[in-house]
Amino acid sequence: MKAVVYGLLSGFLLLACGVSAAQSIAAETLEMSESDEIDDEAIAVLRGLSDHLASLEKFSYRYEASHDTVQSSGLKVEFGSTRRVVVARPDRLRMDGERRDGVRNTIIFSGEQIYAYVPDQKIYAAAEQPGKLDDAMDFAIRELRLKAPVSGLVSSNFFDDAMQNLKRAYYLGVATVAGEECDHLLMSNDFTDFQLWVTRTPTPLLRRLVITYREEPGEPQFRAHFMDWDLDPEIEEGTLSFVPPDDVARVRFYVEARLSEETAGDDS
Amino acid sequence: MKSTVMKTIAFTVMLTTLWLATYEISEAARRGGGGGGRSMSRGGPAGGGSMHRSQTRPQSSSRAGTMDRSRNSSRSQVNNRAGDRQISDQTRQNASDRRDNNQDRIDNRQDNLSDRQDFRQDRYDDRKEYRNDRQEWYEDSWRRGRYITAVRWGSVGCANVVYVNGIRYYQCGGVRYEQVYRGGEVTYIIVN
pLDDT tens per residue, range B38-82? 543 332 332 222 212 323 223 333 332 222 233 333 333 333 443
Contacts with B167 from chain A: Cβ below 8 Å:
252
Contacts with B40 from chain A: Cβ below 8 Å:
172, 186
d(CA A256, CA B182): 9
Cross-chain residue pair A175–B33, CB shorter than 8 Å: yes
CB contact B57 to A (< 8 Å): no
- Domain boundaries in chain B? 63-144, 147-190
What local confidence, expressed as pLDDT, does residue A114 receive?
A: 97
Kindly state the greatest CA–CA separation across chain B. 113
Cross-chain residue pair A170–B183, CB shorter than 8 Å: no
Burial class of B2 by CB neighbour count within 10 A (0 to 12, 13 to 18, 19+):
exposed
Cross-chain residue pair B181–A123, CB shorter than 8 Å: yes
pLDDT tens by residue, A174-204: 999 999 999 999 999 988 899 999 999 999 9
User: Is the pLDDT at B34 greater than 50, yes or no?
Assistant: no
Provide the mean pLDDT of chain B.
Answer: 60
pLDDT tens by residue, A93-118: 999 999 998 989 999 999 999 999 99
pLDDT tens by residue, A56-86: 999 999 999 999 988 888 888 898 999 999 9
Q: Which of A19-23, A28-32, B50-54, B68-72 has the lowest mean pLDDT?
A: B50-54
For residue A252, the distance in angstroms to the closest alpha carbon of chain B comes to 5
The number of residues making up chain B comes to 192
- DSSP per-residue codes, B40-102: ----HHHHHT-SS-------HHHHHHHHHHHHHHHHHHHHHHHT--S--HHHHHHHHHHHHHH
Say if pTM beats, i.e. exceeds, 0.90.
no
Residue in B38, B40, B143 closest to A256 by CB: B143
Residue in A6, A21, A253 closest to B11 by CB: A6
**Among A204, A206, A223, A235, residue whose Cα is nearest residue A86:** A235
Contacts with B32 from chain A: Cβ below 8 Å:
172-175, 184
Task: Look at residue A35 and tell me if it is in a domain.
Answer: no
Cross-chain residue pair A147–B184, CB shorter than 8 Å: yes
Provide the mean pLDDT of chain A.
Answer: 85
What local confidence, expressed as pLDDT, does residue A195 receive?
A: 95
Q: Please state the separation of Cα A14 from the chain's center in Å.
A: 47
Contacts with B133 from chain A: Cβ below 8 Å:
72, 217
Cross-chain residue pair B133–A72, CB shorter than 8 Å: yes
What local confidence, expressed as pLDDT, does residue B149 receive?
A: 80
Cross-chain residue pair B186–A123, CB shorter than 8 Å: yes
Instruction: Please report which confidence band the pLDDT of residue B85 belongs to, taking 50, 70 and 90 as the band edges.
Output: very low
Instruction: Please report which confidence band the pLDDT of residue B102 belongs to, taking 50, 70 and 90 as the band edges.
Output: confident
Mean pLDDT of B104-112: 76
Task: Look at residue A136 and tell me if it is in a domain.
Answer: yes
Instruction: Please report which confidence band the pLDDT of residue B164 belongs to, taking 50, 70 and 90 as the band edges.
Output: confident
| A2 Cβ neighbours under 8 A, 6+ residues apart | B4, B7
Cross-chain residue pair B181–A186, CB shorter than 8 Å: no
User: Is the pLDDT at B147 greater than 70, yes or no?
Assistant: yes
d(CA A62, CA B68): 65
Instruction: Please report which confidence band the pLDDT of residue B90 belongs to, taking 50, 70 and 90 as the band edges.
Output: low
d(CA B25, CA B36): 9
Contacts with B30 from chain A: Cβ below 8 Å:
28, 173
Task: Look at residue A264 and tell me if it is in a domain.
Answer: no
d(CA B171, CA B65): 69
Task: Look at residue A183 and tell me if it is in a domain.
Answer: yes
Q: For the packed helices B2-31 and A2-30, what is the interaxial angle rounded to 10 degrees?
A: 10
Task: Look at residue A126 and tell me if it is in a domain.
Answer: yes
Instruction: Please report which confidence band the pLDDT of residue B89 belongs to, taking 50, 70 and 90 as the band edges.
Output: low
Which residue on chain B is closest to A256 by alpha carbon?
B182
Specify the DSSP element, H or E, that contains B192: none
Task: Look at residue A16 and tell me if it is in a domain.
Answer: no
Amino acid in the structure at residue B192:
N
The answer to whether the bond into A90 is cis (omega within 30° of 0) is yes
CATH number at residue A171: 2.50.20.10
**Among A238, A265, A249, residue whose Cα is nearest residue A108:** A238
Task: Look at residue A168 and tell me if it is in a domain.
Answer: yes
Give the A:B interface size as CB pairs under 8 Å: 121
Instruction: Please report which confidence band the pLDDT of residue A147 belongs to, taking 50, 70 and 90 as the band edges.
Output: confident
- Split into its structural domains, chain A has a count of 1
- Residue-number span of the structural domain to which A190 is assigned: 57-253
d(CA A183, CA A198): 5
Kindly state the greatest CA–CA separation across chain A. 100
With beta carbons less than 8 A apart as the criterion, state whether B96 and B78 touch. Answer: no
Which of A1, A8, A25 to probe the B interface (max B CBs under 10 A)? Answer: A25
With beta carbons less than 8 A apart as the criterion, state whether A152 and A211 touch. Answer: no
- DSSP per-residue codes, chain A: -HHHHHHHHHHHHHHHHHHHHHHHHHHHHHTTSTT--B-HHHHHHHHHHHHHHHH-SEEEEEEEEEEEEE-TTS-EEEEEEEEEEEEETTTEEEEEEEETTS-EEEEEE-SSEEEEEEGGGTEEEEEE--SSHHHHHHHHHHTS----TTGGGGSTTHHHHHHTT--EEEEEEEEEETTEEEEEEEEE-SSEEEEEEEE-SSS--EEEEEEEETTSTT--EEEEEEEEEESS----TTTT-----TT-EE-EE--PPPHHHHHTT---
What local confidence, expressed as pLDDT, does residue A104 receive?
A: 94
What local confidence, expressed as pLDDT, does residue B130 receive?
A: 57
Which residue on chain B is closest to A177 by alpha carbon?
B33
What local confidence, expressed as pLDDT, does residue A234 receive?
A: 96
Which residue on chain B is closest to A74 by alpha carbon?
B133
